[in-house]
Structure 1
Amino acid sequence: MSNSPEPLILGLDHIQIEAPTGHEEAARAFYTRFLGLPELLKPAALQPNGGVWFALPDGRQLHTGAVQEFAPRLKGHPCFRCTDLELMLARAAAFGVAVQEDLQLAPLRRLFFHDPFGNRLEVVEGGHASEPLG
């Protein structure tokens, strides 16, 4: 038996981004039609709050939450992984989504774009490398 305690945090369940009240149809168009994320049934108790829930392929979720005094996230952002950034760029062009490619972490390939509400989003090819501290 190990002396190290069981981890308190087991993983990431979902992320929530804010959007203006009444954003749901625009969120569906962007997150389902453009990014291909299937919509999830939001629990009945939370449906009056507005917002939409989407499934990520790894079992995690992306939630949008409606707020009265909305301000887009310009720095903080979720980062999605993809297998082929060229396909992502082509899809963005087909949907008229402006992207900014970033070479700061080359050879890692990544890009940034904004959802219809101005929130910053990142897509990275593969994933960010990580190395534990000491």
Structure 2
Amino acid sequence: MPKTGDELIITFKSQAPLAWGTHRRTNSRTRRTGERYIPIPRKEAMRLHLCNKNNGTGLGLNIYNATSDDGLFSGQLKTAGNSKKGDIFAKQFEGNGDLQALTPWLQEHHAQIGDSIRFYWNSPTDITMSFIPSHE
């Protein structure tokens, strides 16, 4: 579990997280517009102990209260997914029960490949997110 003062900066390196509902490699489910996530590199997930439901669920285990520093996002994010079956380390941040939760915020900033998101832990359960455009 992350500690107060921990920080993580994620840079979008592909289109997949920015258009997850329609930009998919598989047809495992119906395509849906507006689904987005923020990827977590495995090395960072291990460093901060960002886990998925395989390590338990709940506030501080894989669910976090999140707000953006610009006031445009407030809600719960969860760490989810894995790179191999049974792995406890998460591969993404997504809305808790809503894969479209991040969409309005990312659209407002016109998020694109090269842009970054900074996560700052105000407590083990509370995160502030900052959008960092690549063109600044």
| Higher-RCO chain (CA-CA 8 Å, sequence separation at least 6) | 2
Larger Rg: 1
> Which has the larger helix fraction?
1
The TM tier, using the shorter chain, reads under 0.3
Give TM-score, length-normalised by structure 2. 0.27
